[in-house]
Amino acid sequence: MADDTSPREPDVTREQAEEAVRTLLRWAGDDPQREGLLDTPKRVVKAYREWFSGYALDADEYLARTFEEVEGYDEMIVLRDIEYESHCEHHMAPIIGRVHVGYLPAGKVVGISKLARVVDAYAKRFQVQEKMTAQIAGCIQRALAPLGVAVVVEGEHECMTTRGVHKRGVSMVTSTMLGSFREDARTRAEFLQFIETASRGR
């Protein structure tokens, strides 16, 4: 069963979106008719199409094609340091970070680029990091039915660094562990050791 953020068509026109940007420019205290801002609404709307392209993507579809010819391979598969860019749904400020994904296959695997695409499908939406972490793990669990799934997300939230408390250099870490990663401390420790090694190497 797919999650509740399946693709949907926006009911707002491009012209309406551009006018909303002009309203925000006026609210900020500037004049959207001055030369430097004349094309800003078009640029912002175009940027939004890119930043929030995840709403037009179905993450489950990326994992629909799996491979079962793995010669009995049943050890952990880990994809580390998947970079992502998202936006906080509370302040619309950027969240920049990395995702680490691991799973224990139960007879089938998926192309690793598809895992990165799943991350993008959820990251390119207005997000809460905790929710995004669970969404990525749930998608992998639904598609592959593995013995276990582990997802760790690191993120720097500009809603905290550029406003409010103005604390820089602070990152948030969230995790979702399913199946054997939740139940078996040794499996969980092995995964965390893999990603800790990656972090030390940066």
pLDDT tens digit string along 134-156? 999 999 999 999 999 999 999 99
Q: pTM higher than 0.95 for the full model?
A: no
- The average pLDDT across 93-121 equals 95
Active site residues: 88-91, 129, 157, 159
pLDDT tens digit string along 18-38? 999 999 999 999 999 999 999
Please, how many CA atoms are within 13 Å of residue 162, restricted to the half-sphere of its CB?
10
pLDDT tens digit string along 60-93? 999 998 888 677 788 999 999 999 999 999 999 9
Mapping DSSP onto H, E and C, the string for 147-183 reads CEEEEEEEEEEHHHHCCCCCCCCCCEEEEEEEEHHHH
